Amino acid sequence: YDRVTRQTAFAAIDATAGRVRLPFSPRTPFAFVSCAESGWPDVSGGAFVESNLAPEWLRRYLAAKRAVEAKLSKTSDVLRPVIFRPSLIWSWDKLDVLPIIPVFNLASALGVPFVDRTIRVGTLADAIVAGVAGEAEGVQRFAAMDDLAASG
């Protein structure tokens, strides 16, 4: 996860932030697909789930995602970070994940604070395009992604 997520994203952030800009030009939008679970420390029960129930591979994955989010926040003088935090991403042609989707969606609807509703890959893609093209900034959870996708 470190090489694929953190190192790759850091290189892209550094290259984008370091490019020559005209004076007074707007900040360059930079989209990053993180994950809903990156926000666990900010929600009730999330820290417990991460510390006590999450497998080691998930903790490494979250560390890489959070490192990228932190780096983006430090470059917001030249970049406009748009951080997408989807939960489970799905599509109708990926049958292996379809059975778990109702579980996530029901848990989210019931208010389980550390479970976000799932998002279809097309909705996420539309939200990214609209977020970069528009004025979106910061963390975008599922409701914001839905709104962005609908606006584009």
**Which pTM was predicted?**
0.94
Contacts 24+ apart (CB under 8 A), 14-18: 16/79, 17/75, 17/78, 17/79
Distance in angstroms (rounded) separating the CA atoms of residues 135 and 133: 7
What is the DSSP secondary-structure string of 27-44?
PEEEEEE--GGGGGGGST
Mean pLDDT, the chain, integer: 95
The token pair at 81 is 């970070």
Count other Cβ atoms within 10 Å, centred on residue 9: 21
**Structure-block tokens of residue 49:** 């789930």
Give the Cα separation of 62 and 57 in Å (integer): 9
pLDDT band at residue 95, thresholds of 50, 70 and 90? confident
54-70 residue pLDDT tens: 999 999 999 999 999 99
pLDDT tens by residue, 12-51: 999 999 988 888 899 999 999 999 999 999 999 999 999 9
pLDDT in tens, 74-85: 999 999 999 999
